[in-house]
Amino acid sequence: MSRFTLNNKYKAVVIGGSAGSFQGIVKILSHLPPDFPLPIIMCLHRLKHVRNGFVEALSIKSIMEVTEPYDKENIKKGKVYLAPANYHLCIELGHYFSLSTEEMINNSRPAIDLTLSTAAYVYRDKLIGILLSGANRDGGLGMKYIKDRGGLTIVQDPQECMIDTMPNAALSATTIDYVLKVDEIVDFFTELNKQYK
């Protein structure tokens, strides 16, 4: 019996993370079902002056292809997208990306709050939001937007996090549906995939 209450209404997954999240992301991507049907949109804090290597490192481990979207690129099922270094990544009505170099939010560009909140606006109750380890509060408000619009919210268990500021910010901002260790998030993706068979 699954511990998760799921259905096949979801249309996208958005994941935020910062310091300490890389290993968790690698584990999740390396255990994804190869036919996972939803787009996975990742906004991870990264060094703005290091443009190469990060996508490649994730792609080596990932079951699905990892790409950095370009401005106005349409969001497609079964792909993993990573916010480019030093660009805010927003999701627009019509299911496409927009990139901007506007001011930093929470001292970050890309800002997780911005990606999560724009995704919540577009996908509403058909969005799953996941927030992993991180050293600042970016993502907390974004998770509240997802919850307020009827989406499903998951944070990495703060006790497992290398730095627990980010998941704790979400837990203090809203009621989170599931607090999970990374291995349990992997199980969640497996269970979710079964809903689309």
Average pLDDT over residues 73-92: 96
pLDDT confidence band for 155 (50 / 70 / 90): very high
* Residue that the structure tokens 């809203």 belong to: 174
1, pLDDT greater than 60: no
CA–CA separation, 30 vs 16, rounded Å?
17
pLDDT of residue 54: 83
Q: For strand 40-44 and strand 12-17, is the pairing parallel, antiparallel, or unpaired?
A: parallel
Number of C-beta neighbours around residue 70 at 10 A: 9
Q: Does the reported pTM lie above 0.85?
A: yes
- Taking only the tens place, the pLDDT of each residue in 15-72 is 999 999 999 999 999 999 989 999 999 999 987 665 667 888 898 999 898 999 999 9
Residue 82's DSSP bridge partners are 42
Alpha helical stretches, state H, 101-154: 112-123, 140-148
Read off the pLDDT of each residue in 173-190 and give the average, rounded to a whole number: 97
Catalytic residues: 18, 45, 138
